[in-house]
A and B are shown apart, each in its own frame.
Chain A
């Protein structure tokens, strides 16, 4: 039964993908239906699986088969492992089950929302194909039983991310962003890849069930463990957009907004955090690794949050917010609290996908990403959207009793136990979070609606109008009017469902539900006990953040003007995104491509020039010389022949003498 369910989860989206590819031209319209069907099957199966295993009795369960024999002899001189082989299979344990449920359910909602969002796009068959393929890869990643298989799907989700970011490939920015995302991810993955291989060579197994901290500590020196852990962690940094790899995530907002909701906030980017929990044995085996993880997480949380405070683009705000929240989760891991990290991952997945979908709803309607523009267009009139947005933001700001509160509280608690400094960082980031959340909310709420906006701005400004592409043919109001009942349902259902989830998922980690989620993940001993001191501090910070936002943005128009005119080092730093992008541009264009150009030059001049062209010229020159020797003058010929003859004569005399001497 388990295996059948697992196969369903894994294969249903793939099947949907294949069916969509094979649909004949006329039936391409059915693509959304197929994709939603696949997602639904996967979601139902994973819920069923979760239900079956709620008692956690038979876990963990591994279903694996041999995939590839690698070696029959020790690969490394010091290892004694006689047989190396790689397997593929499903691993089912609480962590997986939680994650798979999360992924499939959110995927289902995003699929449904996409049906609304992409209704007018000519290429939606391709879109839904990719989306299904993403679902397939992501479920594969979550369910995989070993590190290499994870890497396999890890790359595949990277691919789908690439394809979906570049979905509107006619736009250069989309292509650029997609490439940037892929290459930056690749950069991180190199470490992951090497780490995996090194682990395999040294340890002989990549199965998660074998990666236990105590076993590893016995087998290897701490330095080795640190190296391995950090190498794999580079992969995490890439995928989960940790500083300094975070640069791709904001750009990835070039993709359609539901994609951002699904891939770039809720699931794929969280895969890094998931991997930290999944391979916890490896990471926790070395204290240094954890320390580095904590530092990177803190940096990321701070950078993300600070950059989120200056964005005008609603998706960028959310993207940086995602970066920051991912940093939070990684901090939790670094502080030695994987359960807290995973808890935050779960709640974050719900509220952030909700936020993105809301943003999508706005963008779809107003054809702009700029919050000021949305506000001028009358964003606050969309009551449903505003309501769920507020709800999501409150959750993001960890206001009780929204879900974010519980998880973030747990992280802060872990940080406080671990080190006061990082606790401080966490608190400061929380403050920033509150500030940028309410900045956005206030701008949306307090802006005055501009008259005739729809007519004045039929097309969004190029810099912001990422999603506007799909609607070139339609005026905004037409689109609104054209929404049928089914589409409205497709829009509302995910929003409301996710809002509800955002409200209640957090509660699963409270004593109210007997800490069900935490027990589920971490065993019976983990309790959430509200540390009132932390709550007090966070609430104070919340108030401060809101107050600051209120102070600055109660009049958004004025604030906009003020922001445009002001100039100071901090603003410059934030505008240039801490110069991370510039650093990358320098590395790629200034160093990498220059080096490549140099090599290309060498290839042309040295290898081609000297080895081929010069050599052939030399031979030709020799030929010309030889042909010049043939001067046409008989006596030149004879002289040469005779001269050679005389030379030979003397040679023969001398060697003959030698010969005689030897013979004698």
Chain B
């Protein structure tokens, strides 16, 4: 087992741990912080998958924007940060059973499947990504801008709401 493998295992462990903490801490603020940890792990995994670009994106957008926005929102509503929620045993066990079975089923399925095989070697460069975005990905690329636009306007509208209607 190479070092890379060991590190990989470590990263995977951190990711899983982050994820577990992100859902299990009762305080939502800790959840958000755990999420950041988890996302960091994911970004590292992306590097393992030869996608440096995506790793950077993950850090910039996910951690830099999304996670921060979440923390922002938590901070915006002061009580939220302090509040620890009471969890219902029934709900927890229900969810746990479903998630466990889901995991088992997914693993079983994934394990049994023969995947399309391709060489891991190839051009992972940003240039290729840029070409793809302006090539076969042009329509989604244009569309996603519309989506973001809609999201922003919508968010403004919802968040502002009161001011404009009155």
A residues whose Cβ falls under 8 Å from a Cβ of B: 635, 639, 642-643, 645-646, 649-650, 652-653, 656-657
- Which residues of the partner chain B approach A650 to less than 8 Å between Cβ atoms? 101, 105
Contacts A639-B94, A646-B98, A652-B109 aside, 5 further interface pairs with beta carbons under 8 A come to A642-B98, A649-B106, A650-B101, A653-B105, A653-B112
B98-127: which residues lie under 8 A (CB-CB) from chain A? 98, 101-102, 105-106, 108-109, 112
Contact partner of A653 among B98, B102, B109, CB < 8 A? B109
Q: Does B91 contact A (CB under 8 A)?
A: yes
* Alpha-carbon distance between A649 and B94 when the two chains are bound, in angstroms: 18
Give the chain B neighbours of A656 by CB distance below 8 A: 109, 112
Asked whether, in the complex, the Cβ of B105 is within 8 Å of the Cβ of A649, the reply is yes
- Return 24 A-B CB contacts under 8 Å, by A number: A635-B91, A635-B95, A639-B94, A639-B95, A639-B98, A642-B98, A642-B102, A645-B102, A646-B98, A646-B101, A646-B102, A646-B105, A649-B102, A649-B105, A649-B106, A649-B109, A652-B109, A653-B105, A653-B108, A653-B109, A653-B112, A656-B109, A656-B112, A657-B112
A654's closest neighbor in chain B, by CB? B108
CA distance A308 to B101 in the complex (A): 96
Minimum CB–CB distance for B89 against chain A, Å: 14
Task: Please provide the 10 A-B residue pairs with the shortest distance between their CB atoms, ordered closest to farther.
Answer: A649-B105, A646-B101, A642-B98, A646-B102, A653-B109, A643-B98, A650-B105, A653-B108, A639-B94, A646-B105
**A294 and B151 alpha carbons, distance in the complex (Å):** 107
B residues at A contact (CB < 8 Å): 91, 94-95, 98, 101-102, 105-106, 108-109, 112
Could you tell me the distance in whole angstroms from the C-beta of B114 to the nearest C-beta in chain A?
10
User: Which residue of the partner chain A has the closest CB to B106?
Assistant: A649
Nearest Cβ in chain B — how far from A150, in angstroms?
83
Inside 8 A of B91's CB, which chain A residues have their CB? 635
Q: Which residues of chain A are near B105, meaning CB under 8 Å?
A: 646, 649-650, 653
> Of residues A635, A645, A646, which shows the largest number of chain B Cβ atoms within 10 Å of its Cβ?
A646
* Complex: chain B residue closest to A660, CB-CB: B112
A639 surroundings in chain B (CB, below 8 A): 94-95, 98
Separation of A646 and B105 alpha carbons in the complex (Å): 7
| B113 CB, nearest partner CB in chain A, Å | 9
Tell me, in angstroms, the Cα distance from A248 to B156 when the chains sit together.
97
> With A and B bound together, what is the CA distance between A635 and B91 in angstroms?
9
Q: Complex Cα distance A333/B101, Å?
A: 94
Distance in angstroms between the alpha carbons of A656 and B102 in the assembled complex: 17
In the assembly, what is the distance between CA of A653 and CA of B109, in Å? 6
Q: Which residue of A lies closest to B91 (CB)?
A: A635
Q: In the complex the two chains form, what is the Cα distance from A649 to B104 in whole Å?
A: 10
Among residues of A, the one whose C-beta sits closest to the C-beta of B103 is: A646
CB of B112 to closest CB in A, whole Å: 7
What residue in chain A is nearest B88 (Cβ atoms)?
A635
- Which A residues are CB-close (under 8 A) to B112? 653, 656-657
How far does the alpha carbon of A235 sit from the alpha carbon of B98 in the complex, in Å? 80
Q: Give the nearest-CB partner of A648 in chain B.
A: B105
CB B37 to nearest CB in A, in angstroms, measures 25
Residues of A within 8 A of B106 (CB): 649
Within the complex, the shortest CB–CB distance from A149 to chain B, in Å, comes to 83
Report chain A residues within 8 Å CB of B101: 646, 650
Complex Cα–Cα for A643 and B112 (A)? 22
Provide the bound-state CA to CA distance between A97 and B4, in Å: 128
A635 to B108, CA, bound (A): 26
Which residues of the other chain, A, contact B109 by a CB distance below 8 angstroms?
A: 649, 652-653, 656
Within the assembled complex, what's the spacing in Å between the Cα atoms of A596 and B123? 91
Chain B residues contacting A645 (CB-CB under 8 Å) are: 102
Contacts of B94 in A (CB 8 A): 639
Inter-chain CA distance A653–B91, complex, in Å, is: 27
Provide the bound-state CA to CA distance between A650 and B102, in Å: 9
**Assembled-state Cα–Cα distance A252/B54 (Å):** 109
What's the Cα separation between A566 and B74 when bound, in Å? 112
Shortest distance from the beta carbon of B47 to any chain A beta carbon, whole Å: 31
Nearest chain B residue, comparing its CB with the CB of A650: B105
Alpha-carbon distance between A649 and B105 when the two chains are bound, in angstroms: 6
B113 closest partner in A (C-beta) = A656
Rounded to whole Å, the gap between the CB of B105 and the closest CB of chain A is 4
Neighbouring A residues of B108 by C-beta, 8 Å: 653
* Complex CA–CA separation, A657 to B112 (angstroms): 9
A656 to B111, CA, bound (A): 13
- Report the Cα distance A235→B106, complex, angstroms: 84
CA distance A657 to B105 in the complex (A): 13
Determine the chain B residues whose CB is within 8 A of the CB of A657 once the complex forms.
Answer: 112
B98 contacts across to A, CB distance below 8 A: 639, 642-643, 646
